[in-house]
């Protein structure tokens, strides 16, 4: 996680090659991120952005696609002066992933660009491709001589792999094995865009940079933790993908478990990437397994039914395009998890995520234990416990709920929030998550990226739930109305512990 004040002068000139350059991720996120890094003078000079895809177009065609992408998705308007400068560094090579000659052509083009610009052969390959194509692309890169070994003082080669990495533990290991045949682990950057968000990066700062929190960050003072990732949209045009994934694979195995690790990890003794990732790995090792026999008591899954999204009537999940009418793929999952170590013994971590929920929001909420039932919390008072809420999206920031006396002659206690909003506190606009993460890859900083052992440990934990579902024989899932907060079973899961979900 490189420092915010880093400048391009500290980084080596690099070629960023996007495999799958005509896809949605490239247009919506990657090209705007690279342009905004260039606008902020954070990309090292000289540099190249090289698109590689099967679409038949040349440099001019890819530049036009890039301009359309920036006009539609960049967080800042395209500046003509910066655009012309950026444009000269955007190039394209056409070819299919299963054609070895296409990778040879890519290697030839890269060498020509690097020679012409006087650049070293530093290369970052971004695999913006389906998981099924990862192994083929890795083989193609290796066969074309595009992967350099890790050697001190020599040009670097790095590869970025998008989630999902595999469909289960076995497939994740197969992908990791294939990647490891060609790339050293320090060359591999498994990206999770959630970890590039400002609030996620601030979790460690909030914990370890403020003396008021860390002494209380344990089972003596914390009652429970809630991690919520709610989405208002349905599956849309991604029904085919979602049928293979579901909420557990799509959100919990990667995004949410990474948030849990940052929340629960022990203080690292340095911010070096390996130390931070070691401490996150310890949390995964301490997650209490959920075996097939325990799934019914600790996990809830459901699907959204017909309902309303705002003022619009929307269909249920099984009526969406490319979704089987008898599908048992979950669009909502809630889990009661435990981290079995000294710090968190007895503290439940409640996880929930779902589509077609009332609001789009991601939040980590730390609920502290109630004050003793005396003084202001005696009798019928029932003071609300203190809650530290870290909002990840869309309104990045955090709030701390406290009790205070309401104005007046009578003693009346009322809850209030001490509220911090990034957008209000800082005049500078926050960079997009992909801007931070791409810059970290160029800098060689792997702090915010998943290591192989963490990916496989996450799948190992999720596998118990998947096995329980596979053996359940369920032919239908509970439904919740689109626009609601999920099924009644999700409410019962947390209510069984005499707690309740937070209102977002």
The secondary structure of 187-225 as a DSSP string is GEEEE-GGGGSHHHHHHHHHHHS-TTTGGG-STTTEEEE
Task: Give the whole-number percent of the chain exceeding pLDDT 70.
Answer: 97
Give the number of other Cβ atoms within 10 Å of residue 390's Cβ: 23
Distance CA 225, CA 211 (A): 20
For CATH 3.40.50.720, the residue range(s) in the chain are 8-162
pLDDT for the residue numbered 1 = 56
Q: What is the pLDDT of residues 185-241, one digit of tens each?
A: 999 999 988 888 877 888 998 999 999 999 999 999 999 999 999 999 998 888 888
Partners of residue 336 on adjacent β-strands: 350
For the chain, give the percent of residues with pLDDT over 90. Answer: 73
Numbers of helices and strands, H then E, in the chain: 16, 16
Average pLDDT over residues 297-319: 92
CATH 3.30.360.10 residue ranges of the chain are 196-495
Give me the mean pLDDT over the 464-471 stretch: 94
Bridge partners of 499? none
Looking at domain 196-495, which CATH architecture does it have?
2-Layer Sandwich (3.30)
Q: Read off the pLDDT of each residue in 451-477 and give the average, rounded to a whole number.
A: 93
What CATH number labels 8-162? 3.40.50.720
CA distance 299 to 491: 12
pLDDT at 195: 86
Ranges 72-86, 126-140, 223-237, 343-357: which has the least confidence: 72-86
Q: Say if residue 430's pLDDT is above 90.
A: no
* Residue of higher predicted confidence among 13 and 411: 13
Q: How confident is the model at residue 3 (pLDDT cuts 50, 70, 90)?
A: very low
Checking if the pLDDT of 372 tops 90, the result is no
pLDDT digits (tens, 9 = 90+) for 16-26: 999 999 999 99
Catalogue the active-site residues.
255
Q: Considering only CA atoms, which of 261, 503, 485 is closest in space to residue 401?
A: 503
């Amino acid at each position: 996680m490189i420092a915010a004040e880093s400048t391009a002068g500290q980084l080596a000139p690099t070629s960023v090659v996007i495999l799958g350059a005509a896809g949605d991720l490239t247009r919506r996120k990657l090209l705007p991120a690279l342009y905004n890094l260039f606008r902020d003078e954070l990309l090292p000079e000289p540099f190249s952005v090289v698109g590689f895809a099967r679409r038949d177009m040349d440099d001019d065609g890819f530049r036009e696609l890039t301009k359309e992408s920036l006009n539609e998705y960049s967080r800042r308007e395209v500046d003509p002066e910066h655009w012309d400068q950026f444009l000269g560094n955007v190039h394209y090579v056409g070819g299919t992933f299963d054609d070895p000659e296409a990778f040879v052509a890519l290697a030839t083009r890269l060498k020509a660009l690097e020679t012409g610009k006087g650049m070293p052969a530093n290369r970052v390959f971004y695999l913006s491709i389906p998981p099924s194509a990862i192994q083929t692309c890795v083989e193609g890169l290796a066969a074309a001589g595009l992967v350099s070994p890790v050697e001190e003082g020599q040009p670097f080669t790095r590869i970025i792999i998008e989630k999902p990495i595999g469909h289960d533990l076995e497939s994740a290991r197969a992908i990791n094995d294939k990647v490891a045949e060609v790339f050293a682990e320090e060359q591999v950057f498994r990206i999770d865009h959630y970890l590039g968000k400002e609030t996620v990066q601030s979790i460690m700062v909030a914990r370890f940079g403020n003396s008021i929190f860390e002494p209380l960050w344990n089972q003596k003072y914390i009652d429970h933790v809630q991690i919520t990732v709610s989405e208002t949209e349905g599956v849309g045009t991604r029904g085919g993908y979602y049928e293979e994934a579901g909420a557990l694979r799509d959100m919990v195995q990667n995004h949410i478990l990474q948030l849990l690790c940052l929340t629960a990890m022990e203080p690292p003794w340095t911010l070096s990437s390996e130390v931070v990732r070691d401490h996150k790995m310890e949390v995964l090792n301490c997650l209490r397994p959920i075996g097939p026999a325990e799934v019914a008591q600790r996990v809830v899954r459901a699907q959204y039914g017909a309902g309303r999204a705002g003022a619009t009537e929307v269909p249920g999940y099984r009526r969406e395009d490319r979704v089987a009418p008898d599908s048992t793929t979950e669009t909502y999952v809630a889990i009661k998890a435990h981290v079995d170590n000294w710090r968190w013994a007895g503290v439940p971590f409640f996880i929930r995520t779902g589509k077609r929920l009332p609001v789009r929001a991601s939040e980590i909420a730390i609920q502290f234990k109630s004050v003793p039932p005396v003084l202001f919390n005696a009798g019928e008072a029932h003071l609300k416990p203190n809650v530290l809420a870290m909002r990840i999206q869309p309104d990045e920031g955090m709030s701390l709920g406290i009790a205070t006396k309401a104005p007046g002659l009578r003693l009346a206690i009322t809850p209030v929030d001490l509220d911090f909003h990034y957008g209000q506190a800082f005049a500078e606009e926050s960079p997009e998550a992909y801007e931070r993460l791409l810059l970290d890859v160029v800098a060689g900083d792997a702090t915010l990226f998943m290591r192989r052992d963490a990916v496989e440990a996450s799948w190992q934990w999720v596998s118990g739930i998947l096995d329980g579902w596979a053996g359940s024989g369920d032919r239908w899932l509970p439904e919740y109305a689109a626009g609601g907060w999920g099924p009644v079973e999700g409410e019962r899961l947390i209510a069984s512990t005499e707690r309740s979900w937070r209102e977002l």
